[in-house]
Structure formats: C-alpha cells, structure tokens
Amino acid sequence: MKKLLLFILILVSSLSYSQTLLETVNLPAGTFYEYSYGLVYNSGKYWLSSNSSTVGKHLINAVNSSGVQVDFLNFTPDWIKESQGLAFDGTDFWYVERKTAYCDLQKLATSGIVIDSISTKELFGPSGAYVGGAAWDGTGLWISIYYPDAIAALYKINVAARAIVDTIPVVGLQPQGVAVKGDTIFYVMDGFQGDDERIFAVDLNTKTELFSFHVPETPGLRQNPRGLAWDGTYFWLLAEPVGAGSGRQLFKYDLGGGGTPGINVSLTNLEFPNTTVGNTSNFNFNIFSSGNAMLTIDSIKIAGNGFSYDALVFPINITPGNSHSFGIHFTPSNYALYQGTLKIYSNDPVNPIVNVNLKGQGVLDGARIGLSSTSFNFGNIWVGAEGIAYWNFYVFNMGNQTLQISDLHFNLPEFTYNSPNIPFQISSTDTIQLTAFFYPKQTGSYFDTLKITNNDLTTPVAKIFIQGNGYFNQYSYGFPFWQYQAPLHPGSTSTEPRIEGLKPINDITGDGIPEVIISTENYWTMCLDGAASGNSYPLWVFTTFISNSNAGSIGQYGEYGVQDAIQIASDLNGDGYNDVVIATGGGNEHVYVLDGTNGQIIWQFGDENNWSLGDFGAIDVQRDFNNDGIPDVLAIADGNTNGTGYKRAFLFNGANGNIIWEHYYPGPNPAFGKAIISVNDFTGDNIPEVIIAYGNNGSTDLAVRALNGANGQPIWTRSMITYEPKELLALPLPGGGTDIIAAEYFNRIHRLNGTNGNIVWTSMLGSAAGMIQIALLQDINNDQIPEVLVASFANNGLNCLSGANGSLLWSWQMDYQFGVAAVPDLNNDGFQDVIAGSRDGNLYCISGKGDALLFSHSFPGDWVYTVNYMSSIDGNASKEVIAGTKSGKVVCFSGGTVAVPVELTAFTGNPVNGNVLLNWTTATEINNQGFEVQRLKDHKIEGLNEWERIGFVSGFGTTTEAKSYSFTDENVKAGKYQYRLKQIDFDGSFEYSNIIEVDVNTPAEYSLEQNYPNPFNPVTTIKFSLPVSGNVNLSVYNSLGEKVETLANQYFEAGHHQIIWKADKYSSGVYYYRIEAGNYNSVKKMMLIK
C-alpha cells in the first residue's frame, strides 16, 4: 500500500509540473541579434546563430546570462550561409545552415573550421528539408523538421553513420528550437500555420508528452519562438519580446518553480471625457491576474497633473484568475489638454512595469473663445500691382457649450479675412483655421484690429491686433517675390513632390495678377496665388490619387520633361476664365479637364477600374476643331503589352469630352504615344491639322505623323533615324505656313516640312544628349525664322539652334537641363531671353543672344525641374520668372526693372443732363495704382489748395496696351468747372494731368425725367431740371390718387437736380410722382415690385 501511494505521489508531481519565468534578458542591438535563431549553452556562455542574410553568415556570437556579448566565432569557409539552429556535442558545434530551399548540418570546430557536413538531402531525399532547431543528447543529434509538412517531427541523427535512428512526432507543423535535459527533450512550436505557440516536454525513452506550457505572449500576437537551451540549472527560450512583433529576447525559466505571475489590465490608454474645470470624471480600472502564480502589485504611481487614484494599501495580492479594481480620477484646474502616465509595479517577470497613458481635456463653463494669437505683424510686404501676404490663425472653443461666431470685422480695406460663412459655430474643444490677408496699396504702415463678435459672455468681442508695412522698390533680376513648398501626399508619403508641371493662368482672385498652376509627381495639381508676398498658398487643390494602386501624375510614368502633359485652355465652360487640362499616367490613366477657378472636374476621360490601358503622355488645347468657339482637347496615350490598351490619339470636344475622332498609331505592343500638337490648316478645309509622335522603344514604327484634323486620317508619316521622337514643336514660317521640329529621344533633332514630312535639316547633339524639352526663341539672326532651344543631357549644356538650318547659334555650359523656356525681353535689348533649370540645382536666366548671364539662383542639393514665366507682379513691364524643383519648391523671381511710363493721351469732359462725363486714355502704364479725380469751381481758380477730391479710378498697374477710363461727376449745378487727374504710383509718387474746363449750362426749360430704375425695389431716383430758381414741390401718390409722401417742398436753384425715394415701407403696386414749379407741373407713373 505504501509503494502504491509513493507511485501516485510521483505521478501527480509529474503531471502538475510547473515552471516559473524568472526574467527576460535583452540582447545586444544589431541585425545579427534581431534575427538570432539557434541557441545552445556551453561553458558559461549562451551561443547564438542568426538567419540574417546580411550579417548572419558563417558567424556565431556568445552572450552571458545578462545578455552582454562575451565571445564570437567567425568560421571558414566563408560561403557558409545564415543559420536556423545550433547545437554542441561536447567538443564541436553543429550549425544548421539555411540554403535556398533546404538546410544542411555543418560540424564546426571551436577553432572556426568546418570539419564535416551532412545535407538534409542525404537524410530526406533529393529535395531536402527545412530544419528549425538542433540539440545533442549525448549520443546523437536531434533536429526539428518543419517542412515539408508531411515529415514535420523530431529526428535523431547518428552523425557517424549519417542516418536517422529515431523519430518523435510533434503536436503541429512548425517545430522550431530543440533542447535536451537528461532524459527529456523539449521543442517549441511556432504559430505560422495556426499552431499554438507552446513548449513541449517529451520523455526520450517512452516518447510520451510530460507537460507543456505557453510561451509568453500578448493575446492574439505571435512571438515567433526560435531557439531553446538548458544550462544545467535554468531553461532558456529565444523569442520576440512580448508585444514587439520583431527582434529577439531571452526568457529564463525555473522548470521546478511554482508558476509565473502575469498581469493584464483593462486598457493601456485611458481618455477621459471633456471635463469642466472644478468637476471630476471617474473611471473604474481593473487589474487581472493572468498567470499561474500569485500576482503582487507592489505600488502604483501617477505622473502628470490633474490625475489621481483611490487610496490603496500595498502590496496587493491577486490570485490567478481574479482581479482587483480601483478608481482613477481626472480633475482639471484650467482649460488645457492634460496628459499623464499611471505606472503599475508588479512581480510579473515579463511586464514588471505596466504603463497606462492618461489623457483628459479640461474645459471652461459656457461658450469661451480662444485665439492662437492676439497680435500679428506681417512685416514688410512689397507694394506692386498687388502684393498679398497671408497669416493663418486659429479660433477655438474652450467652453463646454457651442461657440457662435456672429461677425468678423476689419476697418481698413488693406486687411481682409477668409472664414466659413458667417454666422458659424465651433463645438466644444473644436478649432477652426481662419486666414487674414494683407494687401498694401501704398507704401506706409498699417494698423488695424480684427474684431470677432461671439456669444462668450466674458469676451463678447475678441480682438486680434494686426499690423504691416507696405514698401516699394525696383526689384532687380532674381529678387524672390514668393515661394511655396508642395506638401507630401497623405496617401503616398514616400513619393517626392517634384514639380513636373508649371504654368501661369489668368487672374481668378480679382487682383489683376495671374495665378500659377503646378502639378507634382506626388499627385497634386494646385492653383497658387500669383500675387503673394513671402509665401504663396493654394487657391484650390486637385489630386489624382484615388487609392494606393490607382494613383498617377502627369505624363508618362517615369518620364522626364512632361510640361506638355499640362495645358491651360482659354475657356472651356463659358465662365470667362482659363481652365486646366492634365494628362496622367502611372496607376491613374486619365485626361482631366478642371475648372480654372476652383479645380472642380468639368469632364474627364479614363477608366478608374482599369489602370493598365496606357499612360496619357501629352495634350494640346490651342485650337477649335468643330467651330463651336471653344478650344478642343487633343491627347495621346500609350498601349499595353497584350494589345488591349489605348494606343491612339484622341480629339475630344472641349466643352463636354465627347470623342470627335480617334487615330490608332502603328507599332508592336506596347507602343508609346510621346507627343501631340495642333497646327494651322494646310489641307484647305479650314480645320486645324494634328501632328503626333510615337514609337515602341525599339527599331520599328518610330515616327512623326500628320493627321487630318477633320477626321484623324494620316496625311504623311516620317520615320525617325535611330530613336522614337519625344518632343514636337510647331515652327511658324515667314509669310505663313508651319514646319515641325521633332526631337528623337537621343542625339537628333529634325526640322520637317509641315505639308509633306520631308526632312529639312537634322542636327546632332551627341549620343549622350537625352532630349528633355524644346522651346522656340524669337529670331535672333535676322532670318525671320524662330530659333530652337534644347534642354538635354548634351555635354555642352543648353543649346540654341538656328530654326532656319539647324546650326548651333550658341550653347551655355551647365549640368543636365530639365526645363527651358523663352521669356519676353528682360534686359531691354530687343530680343527674348532664356531661362533654364539644371540638375545641379541652378536656375539660369541667359540673354537670348547667348552672350550674357542675367542672373542665376542656386537651390543647394536640389534639381531645378521646371521653368516658366508670368506677367509682372511688381508693377513694371518685365515678366517674372517661376521655377519648380525636384523637392517640391516653387519660387517666383523678379524679371528685372524694365519700365514704361504712364502716358496720358487724352483727357476730355462733357456736360450730359446735369452730369459731367470725364473720359481719358493712356498709351502705356507702369506702377499705376490709379487716378484721383479732382474738381475746382470757377471762382476758386486762384486757390489751388482748394482742389477737392471727388473720386478715384483704379489703374491697370503695368501695361503696354492702350486703356480707356471714365468718371461721372453727378448732379452738377450750372456753372463752369475745372478738372484734373492726379495719377498715383504704387510707391506713392504722383503726377498731375493738364486741367480741362467744363461749362454746365442752365437748362432752357422745365423737365421731369422718368425715374430710374423702373420697376424698382425699393429705391429709385427722380431727376428734374429748372430754368430758373424757385420753390419745387415733388410728391408721390398711390393708384387711388392719395398722396403717400412729399419728397420735396423747398427752394431750388436753377439747374439739374435729383431726389432718391426709398419705398421700403410701401407695398408693391403702381405709384405716380408729380412736380409743381412756378407755372410748370408734370406727372409720371412708376412701379414698385417687391
């Protein structure tokens, strides 16, 4: 009976085998340890191998029990690859080498020499097997096999006989690390195929499972366990740190312990609701004992103001499976975002400190307005045609009730703001961004206060003090007026924001200055304010990012020089403003037509569900093909490899996007449509023609083709010599007609006869000259034919070729050029000038004759990717230069100080029905802010200081075109009057015009005019004339003949007069007005309609 009892006790002891996780040990930093795999103990050191393909080859490292590296063994031959297991047989290491599709066992002497090798192909057949771990049991080498699935098990290898001598089945399909402790073998299961990540102990003699336990883990996350080791006292596991998802850590166990305590909490991020100052929000927090031993909470500490917890007595002991709860409290003392940390200290060896992040927002009682700033100084802002600066600020609600904004108000017209429609609301703790603008019209200092009326009882009118200084100067070449940095795209932050499209567009803000359209590699198309000062900002934004797999930028994917994939159309939707057309490629193959005023889609062509039909590479919007008065849209697209793509040129109706015709160009798939332009009619049908460039990056069908604009049928085709054509230009000829400039991808540029495609000349720039962009330059050698600018990778830099014969007129040495443009004359020599951008980050502005550098600007570490110009924004005749870079910066530079005066060519005045109509014209204007109209009566001619200002008419800034102006001096009494104009520049300087005299005669007879407007609501004007002075009675009657109001009953001098009647208190209907003056009376009818 005693023997039976002893056996039962031993059996129960075995079945209730419990282990205690004593500690976790961090390994050294570095890739080797982050991918460590094999683990074995030898002579006080814990040796590890690594499966890193970069630093894990033919190397094992050793650490001590604290995780500090104490040894290493770098062995030969050096072609031995990374490892997936490690064992020690008492003399030598066994290194599991990971081949491409199987593993080998390498016997490694401690001297670093491989002395034997056993391939898994010898043991498991020609395909070999994948090994997850290895261990020595004193007589043989045990390995775990995890692939193929059919042979997943533990195998003992007689290394002398090179044969399998024993097998132990496993629970699952992914056995990894192996370790031996006496007559017990341990293996750990990885969860890759859904297996439970547990460590199993198996009796080597009976092959029966003794016990198992789970690896430490965060529920739901795999720990990817790898190596196991027994050091004679403790058991070790190599796995990812709990909750980390990568890296490696050592876990130290006492297999004879009493279990492992574990802690789990209800949450690790606690956010309290918005809490009014002086009140308290509470949360009931739970700590769970998730291990198999007593969990002891030693202490709890809080860092951060405003947070507290219930009074507790420590230590707190929680038995396995149970929990302990306590309250956490948030009591704010002011309006602020409070953040803190609750730290729970316990005896959990894996998570001895649990951090709970605390967060709460304190709010004030009622609606309470807050401002990001109560003052702002715009600083010096240049005064030109329109210098604009902006400042973003924030209004927020600090209260627990909704904040109502009922009014925003500036006093000075130079300050304005942008906000939601007033009134608007801001919810508790919400913030809204507003923008203040500064428009200095003249030089000088400006001071104002933005008053924000709201329902905050403590601050019913919040105030922001605003100031700024307007200044004017002659801005020489290269002065930076403004800049803008294109942002990263939230949907694709790794794509760089390089500026691929850069085009000016007409003014849409009403300030008279053109805006700037940009299109970026990272899927933005934006309209920037062209009249900015310092920093510009987008007026509207459009994105061609639909999803990660459906996003594209302008032009062919990966192509350089795609300015021809964005064009500005004169007006496609009839609103009187330019519109924007873009062609995109990559993951979004579309033609988009955008409203130039707001970026909204007018129409589009493409398939959002299929992004492998072919990139759209170029567009043209210069001409009207269907005679509806609206420019039509030409586009050309690539094909695809299987022949189902676009592979054609399109002519779209500019108004609605309907296809007018399509032309399929030839060539093996995939073929590429590189360029498309329209030219004047040369077939005699009064419809423009079309030129396309296409190829296939091969040796056939690399051609330029002319198409009939009426139907898209070929007129002529000209094959290129070596490469497909990339760039096209129309070359206007003296006396009419157009030839074609076609640039092959490398080296050659051709001039083609526009009517038959014959080659007129060919110029070669060298095999390294990859063509990026070509542009026309007005004739500089007096042959009446424009020249050709070539941006390329040519060794001699930027080239200017004769349009007449292709000869080199000049070159300018610079690094690879990514953009080039001709700009109207900047240095006043009568010739256009040239701007170009290069790979070394330089913007060059060069004399059009190639004999001088006007200015340059460096963008260190960047590439200048696009260049262009726009109309003057500083009030002179010189155009401004704009440049875009690879990193997404756009800068507007001054084009210099070429100026023309304000030339007044006529100034007249005429009396008309009691008014004086003044008219004047200018031939040219520079810096013209406008005209102050001044008047002087005849009896004050001697006192010039008594001229009075009667009005102001804004000027056109700077223009070389004739402009007409008018002003009406209304309700002028009889007499002689003198008028003059005070022309004022933006810098405050002024000049007077000649004086003109106007004689306003006394009327010859009485008259009563018809009211205007009529019908009216509710205000109208009644005019009358008196040949002599006297009393006048003017009254209004209803349709029943009842007098409703007397407008005048008083003395008037002879002359022309007018009276305004406000009928807002009367109902709709017919009314009569009657005048009585001397022996004269008259009645007229009018109609009030509400």
Please answer whether residues 210 and 202 qualify as being in contact, where contact means their C-beta atoms are separated by less than 8 angstroms: yes
Q: Does domain 903-1000 correspond to CATH entry 1.10.730.10? A: no
The radius of gyration of the chain from alpha carbons, rounded to an integer in Å, stands at 43
Check whether domain 20-254 has CATH 2.130.10.10, yes or no: yes
Cβ–Cβ under 8 Å, residues 335 and 252: no
> Tell me, what's the pLDDT at 1053?
86
| CA atoms within 13 A of residue 1024's CA, in its CB half-sphere | 28
Tokens 């054509």 correspond to 725
Q: What is residue 578's predicted lDDT score, i.e. its pLDDT?
A: 95
Check whether the bond before 514 is cis (ω within 30° of 0): no
pLDDT digits (tens, 9 = 90+) for 198-221: 999 999 999 999 999 999 887 778
Model pLDDT, residue 796:
93
Question: Which residues, in sequence order, are CB contacts of 803 under 8 Å at separation 6+?
Answer: 731, 741, 751, 776, 779, 783, 785, 786, 787, 788
- Tokens standing for residue 459: 């601050």
Whole-angstrom distance, CA of residue 555 vs CA of residue 553: 7
Average the pLDDT over 17-41 and give the result: 92
Per-residue pLDDT band for 388 (boundaries 50, 70, 90) equals confident
**Cβ–Cβ under 8 Å, residues 367 and 333:** no
Q: Tokens standing for 287?
A: 């700590």
Q: Which residues, 6 or more positions from 12, have their beta carbon under 8 angstroms from its beta carbon?
A: none
Q: Determine the average pLDDT of the residues in 144-170.
A: 97
What pLDDT, in 10s, does the model give residues 728-750? Answer: 999 999 878 899 999 999 999 99
4 pLDDT more than 60: no
Amino acid residing at 643:
G
Tell me which residue has tokens 């909750």. 243
> Does residue 482 have a pLDDT over 70?
yes
At 987, the pLDDT band (50, 70, 90 cuts) reads low
692 CB-near residues (< 8 Å, 6+ apart)? 636, 649, 663, 665, 673, 675, 676, 704, 705, 707, 728
Report whether 59 contacts 69 (CB < 8 A). no
Residue 35 — pLDDT band, cuts 50, 70, 90?
very high
Residue written as tokens 């005070």? Answer: 982
> Which part of the chain has CATH 2.40.128?
488-617
pLDDT score of 866: 98
The reported pLDDT for the residue numbered 941 is 41
> CATH homologous superfamily for 770-891?
YVTN repeat-like/Quinoprotein amine dehydrogenase (2.130.10.10)
Pick the CATH number of 1007-1088 from 2.130.10.10, 3.30.1490.190, 3.10.20.30, 2.60.40.1930: 2.60.40.1930
| pLDDT recorded at residue 960 | 67
pLDDT score of 2: 34
Q: How far is CA 661 from the centre of its chain?
A: 35
Residue keyed to tokens 């007077």 = 992
| Vertex 924: Cα angle to 922 and 925 (nearest 5) | 95
The C-alpha atoms of residue 496 and residue 486 are separated, in whole angstroms, by 9
In the chain, the percentage of residues whose pLDDT exceeds 70 is 96
CB 19 within 8 A of CB 253: yes
Helix (H, G, I), strand (E, B) or coil at 473: coil
* Residue 45 identity: K
Which amino acid would we find at residue 1045? E
Delimiting residues of CATH 2.130.10.10 domain(s) in the chain: 20-254, 770-891
Cα angle, residue 743 at apex, residues 592 and 522 outer, rounded to 5°: 35
CA distance 504 to 516: 4
> What phi and psi, each to the nearest 5 degrees, are found at residue 120?
-65, -15
Q: Which class would CATH give 488-617?
A: mainly beta
CB 298 within 8 A of CB 318: no
Per-residue pLDDT of 580-634, as tens digits, reads 999 999 999 999 999 999 999 999 999 988 888 999 999 999 999 999 999 999 9
Stretch(es) of the chain classified as CATH 2.60.40.1930: 1007-1088
- Predicted pLDDT at 387: 62
Q: Give the whole-angstrom CA distance, residue 458 versus residue 461.
A: 9
Between CA 127 and CA 137, with CA 133 as vertex, the angle to 5 degrees is: 115
| Rounded distance between C-alpha atoms, residue 208 and residue 94, angstroms | 26
Q: What is the pTM of this model?
A: 0.61
Cβ–Cβ contacts within 10 Å for residue 182, how many? 9
Q: Where are the beta strands (DSSP E) in 563-671?
A: 566-569, 579-586, 590-594, 601-606, 616-620, 633-637, 648-652, 659-664
Per residue in 993-1019, pLDDT tens?
888 888 887 888 899 999 888 888 899
Are the C-beta atoms of 517 and 525 separated by less than 8 Å? yes
Class of domain 369-471 as given by CATH:
mainly beta
What confidence tens digit (pLDDT) does each residue in 486-528 have? 999 999 988 899 999 999 999 998 877 899 999 999 999 999 9
| Structure confidence at residue 920 as a pLDDT band (50, 70, 90) | confident
The pair phi, psi for residue 1019, each rounded to 5°, is -115, 140
In the chain, ranges of CATH 2.60.40.10 domains = 263-363, 369-471, 903-1000
Asked if residue 207 lies in contact with residue 200, where contact means CB atoms within 8 angstroms, the answer is no
Q: What is the 3-state secondary structure (H, E, C) of 409-422?
A: ECCCCCEEEECCCC
What is the CATH superfamily name and number for domain 263-363?
Answer: Immunoglobulins (2.60.40.10)
Contact assessment for residue 167 and residue 154, using Cβ atoms and an 8 Å cutoff: yes
Model pLDDT, residue 24: 94
- Cα(434)–Cα(420) distance, rounded to whole angstroms? 8
∠1061-1066-1068 over CA atoms, to 5°? 105
d(CA 579, CA 575): 10
| Beta carbons of 869 and 880 less than 8 angstroms apart | yes
Strand order across the beta sheet in which 499-505 lies: 499-505, 515-520, 524-528, 538-543
